[in-house]
Homo-oligomer: A and B are copies of this chain.
Amino acid sequence: MTPASFVGVDWGTSSFRLWALTDHGHILAASRGPYGMAQLKKDDYASVLNNSLDDLGVDASVPVIICGMAGAAQGWHEAPYCSAPAHLHQLGVDAVRVPGVNRDVRILPGVKQQHPANVMRGEETQIAGLLHSHPDFLGTVCMPGTHTKWVTIQNQSIVDFETCMTGEQFALLSSQSVLSHSMSSTEWDDNAFLDGVRETLAQPDAVARRLFSIRAETLVGTQTAAQARARLSGLLIGQELAATRPYWRDQCVTLIGEPDLCALYAIAFASCDARSHTMTGESMTIAGLVSAYTVNKDTTGD
């Protein structure tokens, strides 16, 4: 097999994804596992990484670039945030070398914004990936997930950004609140989703009293479990769109994330005559790791 030029890792709160890559981002080998910051102590990171690389037969001389929560204060080794407005070139420049490891391991910084306060770790690398192939990109990137990011990009920089906890709210309300008794974990109804989006966009201040109606419609109405689950998702995504209107109105939004989740946002955008197109999160992460690796190598001269 062609020897890997470097190894890229996306090390998040709940998962670990690793790719052995050529200089141009061609994947030579990959592995993943449920070894995220939430599961690991500081001392665990080195062995998770080394075991994974040994399994793939990656030589100890191959450098490693990591993005995500491994660089948080409570992660493996802190990589201090860059401040927005932040040029994406800075990620590779500010990568922090992890001490005391038998390899060259560097962690990319996240990005922070002071006013209004906000932070990201991992998404900035996907944006670097987008700019790697579209250096002239100008506009809004929406990155759906547990904590959805809305990012304004201009001059290869993150100008400002917002975060909505829509994914986490959906997970908590659908599985742990009284609403969980009205829904199943898999069924779905597109019309109920769109009704929820439209209702919230038309009357965003009513969300607080719409949520319980999902339970009540099951008890006194004819709502199905599929309708209940999709309606909850629609109300919450509608609430997010109401809060982020300046980011998407009169724009073509670029969605980066898991295809299924991006498809939901795309349907929601279409329902309010907004446009979007989707790029896969994993491919953007890999492109961003390649970009940061290249900058880091050129900068440090290692």
Closest chain B CB from A201 CB (angstroms): 9
A121 → chain B closest CB, angstroms: 10
Q: Are B178 and A165 in contact (CB under 8 A)?
A: yes
A207 to B168, CA, bound (A): 15
Whether the Cβ atoms of B112 and A219 lie closer than 8 Å is yes
A155-198 contacts to B (CB < 8 Å) = 162-166, 168-169, 172-173, 176-179
B166 engages A172 (CB within 8 Å): no
Contact B166 A177 (CB under 8 A): no
Which B residues lie within 8 Å of A179 (CB)? Answer: 165
On whether the beta carbons of A117 and B217 are closer than 8 Å, the reply is: yes
In whole angstroms, how far apart are the Cα atoms of A215 and B74 in the complex?
14
**Size class of A's contact patch?**
35 or more
Which residues between 199 and 222 of chain A lie within 8 Å of chain B, taking CB atoms?
204-213, 215-217, 219-221
Contact B177 A220 (CB under 8 A): no
Chain B: minimal CB distance from A114 (Å) = 6
Cross-interface CB contact of A208 among B177, B210, B239, cutoff 8 Å: B239
State which of A39-47, A240-248, A281-289 sits at the interface with chain B. Answer: A240-248
Cβ B220 vs Cβ A162 within 8 A: no
Taking chain A's interface residues, is the majority helix, strand, or loop, or is none over half, making it mixed?
helix
| A220 and B119 in contact, given A163-B209, A163-B212, A205-B205 (Cβ under 8 angstroms) | yes
* Residue ranges of A at the interface with B (Cβ–Cβ < 8 Å): 81, 112-114, 116-119, 147, 150, 162-166, 168-169, 172-173, 176-179, 204-213, 215-217, 219-221, 236, 239-240, 242-245
Contacts of A243 in B (CB 8 A): 205-210
Q: Are B177 and A176 in contact (CB under 8 A)?
A: no
Would you give 14 A-B contacts (Cβ < 8 Å), ordered by A?
A112-B220, A117-B220, A118-B216, A118-B220, A119-B216, A119-B219, A163-B216, A164-B209, A204-B204, A205-B242, A208-B239, A208-B242, A208-B244, A209-B243
With both chains docked as a complex, state the minimum distance between the C-beta of A38 and any C-beta of chain B, in angstroms: 10
Q: Which 7 A-B pairs have the closest CB atoms?
A: A204-B205, A208-B243, A117-B216, A163-B212, A205-B242, A172-B172, A117-B217
With A168-B178, A208-B243 given, name 12 new contacts (CB 8 A): A81-B220, A112-B219, A113-B216, A113-B220, A116-B216, A117-B217, A163-B212, A165-B211, A166-B208, A172-B172, A208-B240, A209-B244
